[in-house]
Amino acid sequence: MLLKNLIPNIDTNLCNIDICGITNDSRKVKGGYAFVCISGVTDDGHKYAQKAAELGAAVVITEREVGVHNEIVVSDTREVYANMCANWFGNPAESLKLIGITGTNGKTSITYMLKAILESAGHKVGLIGTIQNMIGDETIETKNTTPGVYELNQLFALMKDKGCDYVVMEVSSHALDQKRVCNLVFEAAVFTNLTQDHLDYHITMDNYLGAKKKLFKMCKAAIVNIDDEYCEQLIDGLDCRIVSYSLGDCSTYSAKAVKHYPASVEYELVSNDILNHIKFNTGGKFSVYNSMCAAVTALELGISIKTVADAIEDIKGIKGRAESVPTGHDFTVIIDYAHTPDGLKNILKTFRDCEKNRVIALFGCGGDRDKSKRPIMGNIAVRYADYVIVTSDNPRSENPDDIIKDILVGTVGSSTPVKVIENRIEAIKYAVSIAKKDDIIVLAGKGHETYQILKEGTIHLDEREVVQEALSEL
Protein backbone atom coordinates (compact mmCIF):
# COMPACT_ATOMS: atom_id res chain seq x y z
CA MET A 1 0.00 0.00 0.00
CA LEU A 2 1.34 3.44 -0.89
CA LEU A 3 2.27 5.58 2.09
CA LYS A 4 -0.06 8.37 0.87
CA ASN A 5 -2.98 5.91 1.15
CA LEU A 6 -1.96 4.97 4.68
CA ILE A 7 -1.53 8.61 5.74
CA PRO A 8 -3.72 10.77 3.46
CA ASN A 9 -2.66 14.39 2.89
CA ILE A 10 0.88 13.70 4.06
CA ASP A 11 3.37 16.25 2.75
CA THR A 12 6.60 14.36 2.07
CA ASN A 13 8.64 13.17 -0.89
CA LEU A 14 8.23 9.66 0.54
CA CYS A 15 4.46 9.59 -0.07
CA ASN A 16 4.70 7.24 -3.09
CA ILE A 17 6.79 4.63 -1.29
CA ASP A 18 5.12 1.20 -1.27
CA ILE A 19 4.67 -0.02 2.33
CA CYS A 20 4.47 -3.77 2.90
CA GLY A 21 3.79 -3.74 6.65
CA ILE A 22 3.27 -1.44 9.63
CA THR A 23 4.30 -1.80 13.25
CA ASN A 24 5.17 0.13 16.41
CA ASP A 25 7.38 -2.74 17.64
CA SER A 26 10.95 -2.50 16.34
CA ARG A 27 11.39 -6.26 16.83
CA LYS A 28 8.80 -6.87 14.10
CA VAL A 29 10.30 -4.54 11.51
CA LYS A 30 11.11 -6.06 8.10
CA GLY A 31 12.24 -4.57 4.83
CA GLY A 32 9.63 -2.18 3.41
CA TYR A 33 7.82 -1.68 6.71
CA ALA A 34 6.66 1.59 8.21
CA PHE A 35 7.85 1.87 11.82
CA VAL A 36 5.96 4.21 14.12
CA CYS A 37 7.77 5.54 17.20
CA ILE A 38 5.44 5.73 20.18
CA SER A 39 6.36 7.01 23.63
CA GLY A 40 4.95 4.57 26.19
CA VAL A 41 4.72 4.40 29.96
CA THR A 42 7.97 2.49 30.45
CA ASP A 43 9.76 2.83 27.10
CA ASP A 44 10.07 5.17 24.11
CA GLY A 45 9.91 3.87 20.55
CA HIS A 46 12.09 6.76 19.37
CA LYS A 47 15.06 4.97 20.94
CA TYR A 48 14.65 2.21 18.36
CA ALA A 49 14.33 4.36 15.23
CA GLN A 50 17.92 3.71 14.15
CA LYS A 51 17.52 -0.03 14.65
CA ALA A 52 14.31 0.01 12.59
CA ALA A 53 16.07 1.85 9.78
CA GLU A 54 18.92 -0.68 9.85
CA LEU A 55 16.37 -3.51 9.61
CA GLY A 56 15.04 -2.02 6.37
CA ALA A 57 12.12 0.16 7.45
CA ALA A 58 10.96 2.15 4.43
CA VAL A 59 9.85 5.04 6.64
CA VAL A 60 10.12 5.90 10.32
CA ILE A 61 7.27 7.99 11.74
CA THR A 62 8.35 10.11 14.72
CA GLU A 63 7.29 13.06 16.89
CA ARG A 64 10.78 14.57 16.84
CA GLU A 65 13.85 14.37 14.67
CA VAL A 66 15.82 11.21 15.40
CA GLY A 67 18.49 11.43 12.71
CA VAL A 68 17.46 8.68 10.30
CA HIS A 69 17.34 9.46 6.59
CA ASN A 70 13.72 8.36 6.05
CA GLU A 71 12.00 9.91 9.04
CA ILE A 72 8.65 11.70 8.90
CA VAL A 73 7.89 13.96 11.87
CA VAL A 74 4.23 14.27 12.94
CA SER A 75 2.58 15.89 15.95
CA ASP A 76 0.96 12.73 17.38
CA THR A 77 2.30 9.29 16.44
CA ARG A 78 -0.43 7.48 18.40
CA GLU A 79 -3.17 9.12 16.37
CA VAL A 80 -1.29 8.64 13.09
CA TYR A 81 -0.68 4.97 13.89
CA ALA A 82 -4.38 4.44 14.71
CA ASN A 83 -5.34 5.91 11.33
CA MET A 84 -2.66 3.89 9.54
CA CYS A 85 -3.92 0.64 11.07
CA ALA A 86 -7.51 1.43 10.11
CA ASN A 87 -6.48 2.24 6.54
CA TRP A 88 -4.25 -0.83 6.32
CA PHE A 89 -7.21 -3.10 7.00
CA GLY A 90 -9.63 -1.12 4.82
CA ASN A 91 -11.39 0.73 7.67
CA PRO A 92 -13.46 -2.32 8.71
CA ALA A 93 -15.05 -0.56 11.71
CA GLU A 94 -17.03 1.64 9.32
CA SER A 95 -19.05 -1.45 8.32
CA LEU A 96 -19.78 -2.47 11.92
CA LYS A 97 -22.07 -1.09 14.60
CA LEU A 98 -19.82 -0.60 17.62
CA ILE A 99 -21.07 -0.71 21.22
CA GLY A 100 -18.44 0.38 23.75
CA ILE A 101 -18.69 -0.35 27.47
CA THR A 102 -16.47 1.45 29.95
CA GLY A 103 -16.40 1.77 33.74
CA THR A 104 -14.52 0.20 36.64
CA ASN A 105 -16.82 -2.76 37.24
CA GLY A 106 -19.43 -4.65 35.22
CA LYS A 107 -17.95 -4.30 31.73
CA THR A 108 -17.45 -7.99 31.04
CA SER A 109 -20.86 -9.09 32.30
CA ILE A 110 -22.61 -6.42 30.25
CA THR A 111 -20.76 -7.29 27.03
CA TYR A 112 -21.82 -10.93 27.35
CA MET A 113 -25.42 -9.99 28.10
CA LEU A 114 -25.57 -7.61 25.14
CA LYS A 115 -24.07 -10.24 22.86
CA ALA A 116 -26.76 -12.72 23.96
CA ILE A 117 -29.56 -10.18 23.47
CA LEU A 118 -28.39 -9.09 20.02
CA GLU A 119 -27.96 -12.69 18.90
CA SER A 120 -31.48 -13.47 20.11
CA ALA A 121 -32.63 -10.64 17.83
CA GLY A 122 -30.95 -12.32 14.85
CA HIS A 123 -27.68 -10.42 14.65
CA LYS A 124 -24.18 -11.86 14.29
CA VAL A 125 -22.05 -10.33 17.01
CA GLY A 126 -18.36 -9.91 17.68
CA LEU A 127 -17.19 -9.50 21.26
CA ILE A 128 -13.94 -7.92 22.45
CA GLY A 129 -13.13 -8.10 26.13
CA THR A 130 -11.24 -9.25 29.18
CA ILE A 131 -12.01 -12.97 29.13
CA GLN A 132 -11.78 -13.61 25.40
CA ASN A 133 -12.65 -12.23 22.00
CA MET A 134 -15.49 -13.93 20.13
CA ILE A 135 -17.03 -14.08 16.67
CA GLY A 136 -20.37 -15.76 17.15
CA ASP A 137 -19.47 -18.99 18.98
CA GLU A 138 -15.81 -18.89 17.90
CA THR A 139 -13.38 -17.80 20.62
CA ILE A 140 -10.10 -15.96 20.13
CA GLU A 141 -7.56 -15.58 22.93
CA THR A 142 -7.07 -12.08 24.30
CA LYS A 143 -4.19 -10.41 26.14
CA ASN A 144 -5.67 -7.00 26.95
CA THR A 145 -9.16 -5.80 27.81
CA THR A 146 -8.92 -3.63 24.69
CA PRO A 147 -6.35 -4.87 22.13
CA GLY A 148 -3.57 -2.77 20.64
CA VAL A 149 -4.67 -0.65 17.70
CA TYR A 150 -3.21 -2.96 15.01
CA GLU A 151 -4.74 -6.07 16.59
CA LEU A 152 -8.03 -4.24 17.11
CA ASN A 153 -8.38 -3.35 13.43
CA GLN A 154 -7.30 -6.84 12.48
CA LEU A 155 -10.12 -8.17 14.66
CA PHE A 156 -12.61 -5.76 13.13
CA ALA A 157 -11.59 -6.95 9.65
CA LEU A 158 -12.04 -10.59 10.65
CA MET A 159 -15.42 -9.86 12.22
CA LYS A 160 -16.55 -8.02 9.12
CA ASP A 161 -15.39 -10.86 6.84
CA LYS A 162 -17.29 -13.39 8.96
CA GLY A 163 -20.55 -11.49 8.69
CA CYS A 164 -20.79 -9.63 12.00
CA ASP A 165 -22.97 -6.55 11.98
CA TYR A 166 -22.45 -5.63 15.66
CA VAL A 167 -19.34 -5.56 17.82
CA VAL A 168 -19.73 -5.27 21.59
CA MET A 169 -16.47 -4.30 23.25
CA GLU A 170 -15.00 -3.38 26.59
CA VAL A 171 -13.12 -0.09 26.32
CA SER A 172 -10.52 0.38 29.04
CA SER A 173 -9.28 3.69 30.35
CA HIS A 174 -5.78 2.72 29.22
CA ALA A 175 -7.03 2.17 25.66
CA LEU A 176 -8.77 5.53 25.64
CA ASP A 177 -5.77 7.35 27.05
CA GLN A 178 -3.44 5.64 24.57
CA LYS A 179 -5.74 6.35 21.59
CA ARG A 180 -6.24 2.67 20.71
CA VAL A 181 -9.83 3.45 19.74
CA CYS A 182 -8.95 6.77 18.13
CA ASN A 183 -11.43 8.02 15.49
CA LEU A 184 -13.91 5.15 15.89
CA VAL A 185 -17.62 5.98 15.93
CA PHE A 186 -19.77 4.10 18.45
CA GLU A 187 -23.51 3.58 18.05
CA ALA A 188 -23.68 3.60 21.82
CA ALA A 189 -21.19 4.15 24.62
CA VAL A 190 -22.00 2.75 28.05
CA PHE A 191 -20.85 4.01 31.46
CA THR A 192 -21.27 1.56 34.35
CA ASN A 193 -19.54 3.20 37.33
CA LEU A 194 -16.26 4.69 38.49
CA THR A 195 -14.47 3.53 41.63
CA GLN A 196 -10.83 3.42 42.65
CA ASP A 197 -8.62 1.44 40.27
CA HIS A 198 -5.62 1.97 37.99
CA LEU A 199 -4.33 4.95 39.98
CA ASP A 200 -0.82 3.58 39.45
CA TYR A 201 -1.38 4.70 35.84
CA HIS A 202 -3.83 7.62 36.05
CA ILE A 203 -2.54 8.99 39.38
CA THR A 204 -5.81 10.79 40.20
CA MET A 205 -9.51 9.98 39.93
CA ASP A 206 -9.98 13.10 37.80
CA ASN A 207 -7.49 11.75 35.26
CA TYR A 208 -9.20 8.35 35.39
CA LEU A 209 -12.59 9.97 34.73
CA GLY A 210 -11.10 12.13 31.98
CA ALA A 211 -9.86 9.04 30.17
CA LYS A 212 -13.28 7.40 30.40
CA LYS A 213 -15.02 10.55 29.15
CA LYS A 214 -13.16 10.37 25.82
CA LEU A 215 -15.39 7.46 24.77
CA PHE A 216 -18.48 9.65 25.04
CA LYS A 217 -17.06 12.18 22.60
CA MET A 218 -17.05 9.55 19.84
CA CYS A 219 -20.55 8.06 20.21
CA LYS A 220 -24.07 8.70 18.96
CA ALA A 221 -25.73 7.84 22.29
CA ALA A 222 -24.48 7.64 25.88
CA ILE A 223 -26.08 5.03 28.17
CA VAL A 224 -25.15 6.07 31.71
CA ASN A 225 -25.66 4.93 35.28
CA ILE A 226 -26.94 8.14 36.84
CA ASP A 227 -26.71 6.65 40.35
CA ASP A 228 -22.92 6.78 40.13
CA GLU A 229 -21.38 9.81 41.85
CA TYR A 230 -19.18 10.60 38.83
CA CYS A 231 -21.95 10.45 36.24
CA GLU A 232 -22.84 14.15 36.26
CA GLN A 233 -19.20 15.06 35.62
CA LEU A 234 -19.01 12.48 32.87
CA ILE A 235 -22.02 13.76 30.92
CA ASP A 236 -21.30 17.46 31.47
CA GLY A 237 -20.73 19.12 28.10
CA LEU A 238 -21.45 16.06 25.95
CA ASP A 239 -23.08 16.63 22.56
CA CYS A 240 -24.50 13.12 22.08
CA ARG A 241 -27.94 11.83 23.07
CA ILE A 242 -27.94 10.85 26.76
CA VAL A 243 -30.00 7.95 28.12
CA SER A 244 -29.85 7.27 31.86
CA TYR A 245 -30.70 4.30 34.07
CA SER A 246 -30.96 4.03 37.85
CA LEU A 247 -32.75 2.54 40.82
CA GLY A 248 -34.42 5.90 41.43
CA ASP A 249 -36.89 8.13 39.62
CA CYS A 250 -34.74 10.78 37.92
CA SER A 251 -33.65 8.69 34.94
CA THR A 252 -34.86 7.56 31.53
CA TYR A 253 -35.20 3.98 32.76
CA SER A 254 -35.64 2.75 36.33
CA ALA A 255 -35.68 -0.56 38.16
CA LYS A 256 -38.68 -0.85 40.49
CA ALA A 257 -39.96 -3.52 42.88
CA VAL A 258 -36.51 -5.11 43.05
CA LYS A 259 -36.41 -8.56 44.64
CA HIS A 260 -33.16 -10.20 45.69
CA TYR A 261 -32.62 -13.96 45.90
CA PRO A 262 -29.40 -15.91 46.61
CA ALA A 263 -28.92 -16.81 42.93
CA SER A 264 -31.01 -14.24 41.05
CA VAL A 265 -32.60 -10.80 40.94
CA GLU A 266 -36.01 -9.71 39.64
CA TYR A 267 -37.41 -6.24 39.01
CA GLU A 268 -39.73 -4.19 36.84
CA LEU A 269 -37.97 -2.17 34.16
CA VAL A 270 -39.87 1.10 33.86
CA SER A 271 -39.77 4.00 31.39
CA ASN A 272 -42.39 6.30 29.86
CA ASP A 273 -43.67 3.60 27.51
CA ILE A 274 -42.29 0.34 28.98
CA LEU A 275 -43.16 -1.73 32.02
CA ASN A 276 -41.67 -5.19 31.87
CA HIS A 277 -40.52 -7.89 34.29
CA ILE A 278 -36.78 -8.73 34.19
CA LYS A 279 -35.16 -11.76 35.79
CA PHE A 280 -31.41 -12.35 35.82
CA ASN A 281 -29.89 -15.54 37.20
CA THR A 282 -27.12 -13.98 39.29
CA GLY A 283 -27.67 -12.42 42.70
CA GLY A 284 -26.64 -9.04 44.04
CA LYS A 285 -27.41 -5.37 43.59
CA PHE A 286 -24.67 -5.15 40.97
CA SER A 287 -26.62 -7.71 38.92
CA VAL A 288 -29.59 -5.35 38.85
CA TYR A 289 -27.39 -2.57 37.48
CA ASN A 290 -25.59 -4.81 34.97
CA SER A 291 -28.71 -6.45 33.57
CA MET A 292 -30.57 -3.13 33.47
CA CYS A 293 -27.67 -1.53 31.62
CA ALA A 294 -27.67 -4.31 29.01
CA ALA A 295 -31.45 -4.13 28.67
CA VAL A 296 -31.51 -0.35 28.26
CA THR A 297 -28.71 -0.39 25.69
CA ALA A 298 -30.45 -3.07 23.64
CA LEU A 299 -33.78 -1.22 23.79
CA GLU A 300 -32.09 1.96 22.58
CA LEU A 301 -30.68 -0.07 19.66
CA GLY A 302 -34.21 -1.00 18.67
CA ILE A 303 -34.48 -4.51 20.14
CA SER A 304 -37.95 -5.41 21.43
CA ILE A 305 -38.52 -5.61 25.17
CA LYS A 306 -39.72 -9.22 24.92
CA THR A 307 -36.52 -10.28 23.15
CA VAL A 308 -34.48 -8.41 25.74
CA ALA A 309 -36.25 -9.90 28.77
CA ASP A 310 -36.23 -13.46 27.39
CA ALA A 311 -32.55 -13.30 26.47
CA ILE A 312 -31.52 -11.99 29.90
CA GLU A 313 -33.47 -14.71 31.70
CA ASP A 314 -31.86 -17.38 29.49
CA ILE A 315 -28.32 -16.36 30.51
CA LYS A 316 -27.01 -19.00 32.93
CA GLY A 317 -23.88 -17.28 34.16
CA ILE A 318 -20.58 -15.72 33.12
CA LYS A 319 -17.22 -17.29 33.89
CA GLY A 320 -15.50 -15.70 36.85
CA ARG A 321 -18.38 -13.38 37.65
CA ALA A 322 -20.16 -14.58 40.81
CA GLU A 323 -19.53 -18.06 39.40
CA SER A 324 -20.74 -20.91 41.59
CA VAL A 325 -18.42 -23.93 41.64
CA PRO A 326 -20.13 -27.33 42.15
CA THR A 327 -18.96 -28.83 45.44
CA GLY A 328 -21.26 -31.74 46.21
CA HIS A 329 -21.17 -30.54 49.82
CA ASP A 330 -23.38 -28.39 52.02
CA PHE A 331 -21.33 -25.23 51.50
CA THR A 332 -20.92 -22.89 48.52
CA VAL A 333 -17.81 -21.75 46.64
CA ILE A 334 -18.01 -18.57 44.53
CA ILE A 335 -15.30 -17.38 42.12
CA ASP A 336 -15.37 -13.69 41.24
CA TYR A 337 -13.04 -11.24 39.50
CA ALA A 338 -13.52 -8.58 42.22
CA HIS A 339 -10.12 -6.86 42.40
CA THR A 340 -11.12 -3.33 43.37
CA PRO A 341 -12.47 -1.99 46.67
CA ASP A 342 -15.95 -1.49 45.21
CA GLY A 343 -15.93 -4.88 43.48
CA LEU A 344 -14.92 -6.68 46.67
CA LYS A 345 -17.54 -4.82 48.71
CA ASN A 346 -20.27 -5.64 46.19
CA ILE A 347 -19.58 -9.36 46.00
CA LEU A 348 -19.15 -9.81 49.77
CA LYS A 349 -22.23 -7.75 50.60
CA THR A 350 -24.27 -9.74 48.09
CA PHE A 351 -23.55 -13.02 49.83
CA ARG A 352 -23.60 -11.57 53.32
CA ASP A 353 -27.16 -10.42 52.68
CA CYS A 354 -28.23 -13.99 51.84
CA GLU A 355 -25.91 -15.97 54.11
CA LYS A 356 -27.14 -18.78 56.31
CA ASN A 357 -23.84 -19.16 58.13
CA ARG A 358 -20.42 -17.57 57.46
CA VAL A 359 -19.00 -15.67 54.50
CA ILE A 360 -15.34 -16.63 54.11
CA ALA A 361 -13.43 -14.12 51.97
CA LEU A 362 -10.18 -15.10 50.26
CA PHE A 363 -8.35 -12.40 48.30
CA GLY A 364 -5.07 -10.65 47.57
CA CYS A 365 -3.98 -7.60 45.58
CA GLY A 366 -2.01 -7.36 42.37
CA GLY A 367 1.64 -6.38 42.39
CA ASP A 368 3.01 -3.42 40.40
CA ARG A 369 -0.41 -1.79 40.59
CA ASP A 370 -2.15 0.85 42.72
CA LYS A 371 -0.87 0.28 46.27
CA SER A 372 -3.31 2.68 47.93
CA LYS A 373 -6.26 0.32 47.46
CA ARG A 374 -4.64 -2.52 49.42
CA PRO A 375 -5.50 -1.41 52.99
CA ILE A 376 -8.91 -0.26 51.74
CA MET A 377 -9.65 -3.77 50.48
CA GLY A 378 -8.36 -5.24 53.74
CA ASN A 379 -10.80 -3.06 55.66
CA ILE A 380 -13.70 -3.99 53.36
CA ALA A 381 -12.94 -7.69 53.81
CA VAL A 382 -13.08 -7.59 57.60
CA ARG A 383 -16.24 -5.46 57.52
CA TYR A 384 -18.26 -7.66 55.16
CA ALA A 385 -16.90 -11.17 55.79
CA ASP A 386 -17.00 -13.38 58.87
CA TYR A 387 -13.58 -14.90 58.22
CA VAL A 388 -10.81 -13.51 56.01
CA ILE A 389 -7.93 -15.31 54.29
CA VAL A 390 -5.32 -12.95 52.83
CA THR A 391 -3.22 -14.48 50.08
CA SER A 392 -1.54 -13.64 46.76
CA ASP A 393 -3.23 -12.43 43.59
CA ASN A 394 -0.77 -11.69 40.75
CA PRO A 395 2.26 -10.38 42.69
CA ARG A 396 4.25 -9.82 39.48
CA SER A 397 7.67 -8.34 40.36
CA GLU A 398 6.74 -7.47 43.96
CA ASN A 399 7.40 -9.55 47.05
CA PRO A 400 4.03 -11.17 47.96
CA ASP A 401 4.69 -10.65 51.66
CA ASP A 402 5.04 -6.90 51.14
CA ILE A 403 1.67 -6.78 49.36
CA ILE A 404 0.04 -8.75 52.16
CA LYS A 405 1.51 -6.39 54.79
CA ASP A 406 -0.10 -3.46 52.94
CA ILE A 407 -3.47 -5.25 52.98
CA LEU A 408 -3.23 -6.09 56.68
CA VAL A 409 -2.93 -2.39 57.61
CA GLY A 410 -6.64 -2.12 56.82
CA THR A 411 -7.58 -5.00 59.12
CA VAL A 412 -6.05 -3.58 62.30
CA GLY A 413 -8.55 -3.21 65.11
CA SER A 414 -11.14 -5.55 63.62
CA SER A 415 -12.47 -8.53 65.56
CA THR A 416 -12.95 -10.52 62.33
CA PRO A 417 -10.51 -13.47 62.22
CA VAL A 418 -7.77 -12.99 59.59
CA LYS A 419 -5.55 -15.82 58.35
CA VAL A 420 -2.51 -15.19 56.13
CA ILE A 421 -1.52 -17.92 53.66
CA GLU A 422 0.71 -16.47 50.94
CA ASN A 423 0.47 -19.46 48.56
CA ARG A 424 -2.91 -19.09 46.84
CA ILE A 425 -3.33 -22.80 46.17
CA GLU A 426 -2.74 -23.64 49.81
CA ALA A 427 -5.02 -20.79 50.85
CA ILE A 428 -7.89 -22.14 48.75
CA LYS A 429 -7.40 -25.64 50.12
CA TYR A 430 -7.45 -24.25 53.65
CA ALA A 431 -10.67 -22.35 52.98
CA VAL A 432 -12.36 -25.51 51.71
CA SER A 433 -11.03 -27.54 54.66
CA ILE A 434 -12.59 -25.21 57.27
CA ALA A 435 -15.94 -24.77 55.50
CA LYS A 436 -18.99 -25.66 57.57
CA LYS A 437 -22.60 -26.26 56.64
CA ASP A 438 -24.11 -23.28 54.77
CA ASP A 439 -20.83 -21.37 54.60
CA ILE A 440 -20.15 -19.29 51.47
CA ILE A 441 -16.51 -19.12 50.35
CA VAL A 442 -15.77 -16.18 48.05
CA LEU A 443 -12.53 -16.51 46.06
CA ALA A 444 -12.01 -12.94 44.88
CA GLY A 445 -9.60 -11.41 42.40
CA LYS A 446 -8.79 -14.04 39.79
CA GLY A 447 -12.20 -14.70 38.25
CA HIS A 448 -11.82 -16.05 34.71
CA GLU A 449 -8.00 -16.16 34.91
CA THR A 450 -6.35 -19.57 34.77
CA TYR A 451 -2.85 -18.37 35.61
CA GLN A 452 -0.87 -16.51 38.25
CA ILE A 453 1.85 -13.99 37.46
CA LEU A 454 4.84 -14.35 39.79
CA LYS A 455 8.28 -12.73 39.81
CA GLU A 456 9.67 -15.98 38.40
CA GLY A 457 7.12 -16.10 35.55
CA THR A 458 3.53 -17.11 34.84
CA ILE A 459 2.20 -20.40 36.19
CA HIS A 460 -1.03 -22.31 35.60
CA LEU A 461 -3.60 -21.72 38.32
CA ASP A 462 -7.26 -22.48 37.69
CA GLU A 463 -9.20 -22.02 40.92
CA ARG A 464 -11.88 -24.45 39.77
CA GLU A 465 -9.25 -27.20 39.58
CA VAL A 466 -7.83 -26.25 42.96
CA VAL A 467 -11.29 -26.38 44.56
CA GLN A 468 -11.97 -29.83 43.10
CA GLU A 469 -8.58 -31.07 44.35
CA ALA A 470 -9.33 -29.65 47.80
CA LEU A 471 -12.74 -31.33 47.82
CA SER A 472 -11.15 -34.68 46.98
CA GLU A 473 -8.98 -34.35 50.07
CA LEU A 474 -11.87 -33.83 52.49
Residues 133, 138, 140, CA angle at the centre, nearest 5°?
A: 35
Give the separation between CA 52 and CA 35, rounded to whole angstroms. 7
Residue 440, beta-bridge partner list: 332, 359
CB 300 within 8 A of CB 223: yes
Distance, C-alpha 332 to centroid of its chain: 26
Burial class (CB in 10 A: 0-12, 13-18, 19+), 54: exposed
| 186 sits in which H/E element | strand 186-191
Fold of 323-472: Protein-Tyrosine Phosphatase; Chain A (3.90.190)
**pLDDT value at position 104?**
85
Q: Can 92-314 and 323-472 be said to share one CATH topology?
A: no
**pLDDT value at position 164?**
97
- pTM of the full structure: 0.86
In tens digits, what is the pLDDT along the chain, a chain of 474 residues?
999 999 988 878 888 899 999 999 999 999 999 999 999 877 899 999 999 999 999 999 999 999 998 999 999 999 999 999 999 999 999 999 999 999 988 899 999 999 999 999 999 999 998 888 999 889 987 777 778 999 999 999 999 999 999 999 999 888 898 999 988 999 999 999 988 676 777 789 888 898 899 999 999 999 999 999 999 999 999 999 999 999 998 899 999 999 988 778 999 999 988 889 999 998 889 899 999 999 999 999 999 999 999 999 999 878 888 898 989 999 989 999 999 998 899 899 988 877 678 999 999 999 999 999 999 999 999 999 999 999 999 999 999 999 999 999 999 999 999 999 999 999 999 999 999 999 999 999 999 999 999 999 999 999 999 999 999 999
Give the residue extent of every domain in the chain.
3-88, 92-314, 323-472
**pLDDT value at position 143?**
75
Give the separation between CA 67 and CA 65, rounded to whole angstroms. 6
User: Does the domain made of 3-88 have the CATH classification 3.40.1390.10?
Assistant: yes
Amino acid (1-letter code) at residue 191: F
**pLDDT value at position 445?**
96
Fold of 92-314: UDP-N-acetylmuramoyl-L-alanine:D-glutamate ligase (3.40.1190)
Q: Which residues of 245-260 are buried (b: 16+ CB within 10 A; e: fewer)?
A: bbbeeebbbbbeeeeb
